[in-house]
Every structure is written in structure tokens, then in C-alpha cells.
Amino acid sequence: MNPEKLKIAVLGGTGNIGEGMVLRLALQNLMAGGVKNEVIIGSRSPETAEEAAKEALRELENCGFDTSGTTITGNSNLEAAKAADIIILTIRFTHVEPLLKEIREALEGKIVVTPVVPMVKEGPLFEYRPPAEGSAAQAIKERVPESTKVVAAFHNIAAGKLKDIVQCKAVHDSVVCSDDEEAKKVVFELVRHMGCLKPLDGGPLKHANTIESLTPLLINLAKLNGMKDLGINFS
Amino acid sequence: MNPEKLKIAVLGGTGNIGEGMVLRLALQNLMAGGVKNEVIIGSRSPETAEEAAKEALRELENCGFDTSGTTITGNSNLEAAKAADIIILTIRFTHVEPLLKEIREALEGKIVVTPVVPMVKEGPLFEYRPPAEGSAAQAIKERVPESTKVVAAFHNIAAGKLKDIVQCKAVHDSVVCSDDEEAKKVVFELVRHMGCLKPLDGGPLKHANTIESLTPLLINLAKLNGMKDLGINFS
């Protein structure tokens, strides 16, 4: 892993959260102290991923950024994972198991970042439904090679705020959990330079369940109290 | 229930959270629009409760407040519950079952407020350990008369901030869950006038588990990130 230029795959990068994540990660190249990186969008269809990569570059240009130093490409989930040092899973929990089977060979020694939240809609509100392992993060940990470092992060930021790269400078807290202190530090730096998030240490991975459960809470609070795109702050 | 003058029992009112709760509730009498009330501290020992009531009045006077219109008394848990319209359980989860057995007869038709959080310390960090019912709130609901309205509130405010009635004006969010909309409204008003909290609707009681689980998260984040007496804000 070259700390000067990280290769980051955003699997499910054509989805709602994925799109914002790609833009924010690409923007870090333009920031003083930002992690220099190369973003690879992964999708089931390489063509969809390539199109999303072009669209992200267009979006950055439309917002007035110079993208000459920015690399965003698209590929299949497996090829994106192979090319990357850090793999972010911006996917639904139900897609986790088949995806990890497909890309498992590409994960040896790498960092897998999970913002995945297992939840269901019951009536008008969402409920957290963790798997038997305790959380999506722990379920993922059991399905990757032993050398893979799993970091839970980026759960509690609304897609709307993440994508709004020009307007949204609000700094919400993002709690990061991992059993690997080195990997946690790398992800801390990524979070710190997203432009809208402040990282907080949430301890080992087994504490990820509480962080994951905040996502349905945020959606429910927004709905019940007439608010929108909620984030969270601890003070 | 007389909405002009609420009688509020704080059971476990001699504990850390209870002390701050008593002070904040008594202070509402001095606030424009504050809920006028009478506070009854409940404890296993009536003498300890009476002493705590005198101590709370002295504390208010020491802070410069005119306590002539303020009533704080102490009694046994059962007598305090009998005298009250609203009963707040500022107790540990392990004490819930025996206490509810003792005071059950006094709860018919009343509002029981639970800030109770079932948690255990594992190594340096706390973990949320909900009972089989799903949350302390749901366990309490199953142990009170059917006519009793259970409201979950006041979980996520640090004792230090609650007790610091002069300095601490910071407004943190407090999520309120209940299956009874009328009771929820009454507690919303109590929260709104605590002087340090803003109420948010958290939906029905079955959603209390996520709110309860925030308490060990706040304690852990404070410990892991060198912070103190954390509260939470959604925006």
C-alpha cells in the first residue's frame, strides 16, 4: 500500500451513498493534507461503473473543480477490488454475502471498509436487524480472509449531504470501529478529509452494532420530526 | 392529573442522575412556561430521601434561586409513587423488577418514565445488554398495570451536565419514545423545560432500544476520545 497515493475501490459506487463517497474521495486530492488517491468505482456491470466514473468527473467539473489531477475509473466489482488497497462496501446488507464470495480472492491483506447497515422497514419506520454475528461489520469480518482488516465507518452520513460537495461543509461526527489500529488510522485520515465529517474512535469492531443502529434512528427521527438528511454530533 | 401542578416522583432520586433530575424539575417552577410541579424523591429509605430533598433545596438556594415556590419532599419509593402523577425511574436495570413489584399498586393510570439503560462493563468499555423483551422500556411495560403509560426519555444526558444547573445551558437532543401520544406530549414538555435538552419524537416504545444503546456509546466515545460528559445532537 502506497501511503502517497491510495487506491480506493467503492463497490456499489453507482448507488446513492456510493456516488457521494466517490465525489468526496476524489476531492481529497485537491485538499491540503488530503489523502492523495485514485478512485475505482465497482459495479456488477463494468459499463455502468465506467459511465458512473465519467459522470462523477463531469459533476466535479460542473462544480468548478480542476480534475486534471483526479483519477476516477470504473470496472467490475472483482477487478475494482483487485486494483485497490482499500475496498469500501457501499452496498445493501443482503448483497454482502454474494459479493464477498465473488471478490474474496482480491481481499488478502487489504482494508475493507463497511458502512453497511442491516435494516428493514416496518410500517412507516425503519428497524435495525443485525445478523447473528452481532453486526454487519462482524458478519463481514467472518467472510473475508484472516489477513483482511475490517473497519466500520461512514454509516451515519446522509446521501444528500455527502453528494452536496459544494454546499455541505457541516461537520458531523463519524464513528470508526476496528480491531486493527493501523487500518483504523488510515480510515481516520480518509474520514477527516471528506469535507463534512470528523472521525471519532468507537473502539473494537464488536462495538459497530450501536453505530450501525444509528442509521435507522436518523431516518426515523427525520421522518417523525420533520427534519431532513440528519447527521449526528457528540459534544 | 392536574396539568397546572404536576406531582413528579423521582425514584432512585438520591443517585447521580436522580439528583440532577430533581434539581432540573424543581427549577421548572421558576421558568416562564415551565411545567409547574412538585417533586417527590423516592428511595428505599424515607430518611435518605428526606435528607436528599433538603440537600436539593439547599443546592438551589446556594445557586441563588428563590425556592419559596418550590416543593421538594422525600419518602419511600412506594409512598412517593402513590403521591405522584408521573414516576421517573432513575435506577439501575437490575433494580427494575423488584422495585416495580413493590410499587405496582401505585402505578394504575399513571405515567412511568424510564431513562433506564441495561449495560455491562466489558474490559474498559460498556456494552448494551437489552433483556429478552428488546429494551428496558419494553421490559418495564410488561411489568406495570395495563393502564400505566410508559415513556422512554432522558437516557442520553450525562449526570455531570444535568447537575450543573447554573453553567450547563447546552441544549442536547433527548429522544422520547412511547406508545401513548398523550403521555409522550406531557414528557415532551418536561424535557423542553429541563434547561439543557430539546425533545425529539422517537416513535413507539419498541424503538427505545436504539436510544438506550446510545448511553454506553456516549460513555465509550468519551473514554476513547478524551472527551467528557457527552451529549448528542441530530442536525
Higher pLDDT, B169 or A131: A131
pLDDT in tens, A205-217: 999 999 999 999 9
Q: What was the pLDDT predicted at B3? A: 57
Which residue of B128, B218, B224 is in closest CB contact with A203?
A: B224
Average pLDDT over residues A191-216: 95
Q: What was the pLDDT predicted at B222? A: 97
What is A75-120 written as a DSSP string? EEHHHHHHH-SEEEE-S-GGGHHHHHHHHGGG-TT-EEEE----EE
pLDDT at residue A98 tops 60: yes
Which residue is closest to A129 within chain B, CA to CA? B210
N-terminal to C-terminal alpha carbon distance within chain B: 35
Average pLDDT over residues B70-95: 97
Cβ contact B231–A232 (<8 Å): no
Cβ contact A231–B232 (<8 Å): no
Which residue of B203, B218, B225 is in closest CB contact with A224?
A: B203
Confidence tier at B68 by pLDDT (50, 70, 90): confident
pLDDT in tens, B184-221: 999 999 999 888 899 999 999 999 999 999 999 999 99
Query: If we measure between CA atoms, which residue out of B68, B77, B4 comes closest to residue B43?
Result: B77
Strands B6-11 and B86-89: parallel
Which residue is closest to B199 within chain A, CA to CA? A225
Indicate the range of A24-28, A163-167, A179-183, A222-226 predicted with least confidence. Answer: A163-167
Considering only the top CATH level, what class is B6-225?
A: alpha beta
Cα angle: B173, vertex A231, B171; to 5 degrees: 20
Q: What was the pLDDT predicted at B1? A: 59
In SS3 terms, A19-85 reads as HHHHHHHHHHHHCCCCCCEEEEEEECCHHHHHHHHHHHHHHHHHCCCCCCCCCEEEEEHHHHHHHCC
Average pLDDT over residues A68-83: 95
Residues of A with Cβ-Cβ distance to B215 under 8 angstroms = none
Q: Give the residue from B120, B122, B175, B233 with the most A CB atoms within 10 Å of its CB, the best one to mutate.
A: B233
Cβ contact B213–A216 (<8 Å): no
Confidence tier at A166 by pLDDT (50, 70, 90): confident
Cβ contact A128–B170 (<8 Å): no
Average pLDDT over residues B168-188: 93
Residues of A with Cβ-Cβ distance to B210 under 8 angstroms = 128, 213-214, 216-217
Cβ contact B213–A218 (<8 Å): no
Give strand ranges (E) for B20-103.
37-43, 72-76, 86-89
Residues of B with Cβ-Cβ distance to A209 under 8 angstroms = 213
Kindly tell me the burial class for residue B147, based on how many C-beta atoms sit within 10 Å of its own C-beta (0-12, 13-18, 19 or more): exposed
Which residue of B127, B170, B234 is in closest CB contact with A221?
A: B234
Which residue is closest to A228 within chain B, CA to CA? B235
Q: Give the residue from B220, B228, B229, B230 with the most A CB atoms within 10 Å of its CB, the best one to mutate.
A: B220
Q: For chain A, what is the mean pLDDT?
A: 93
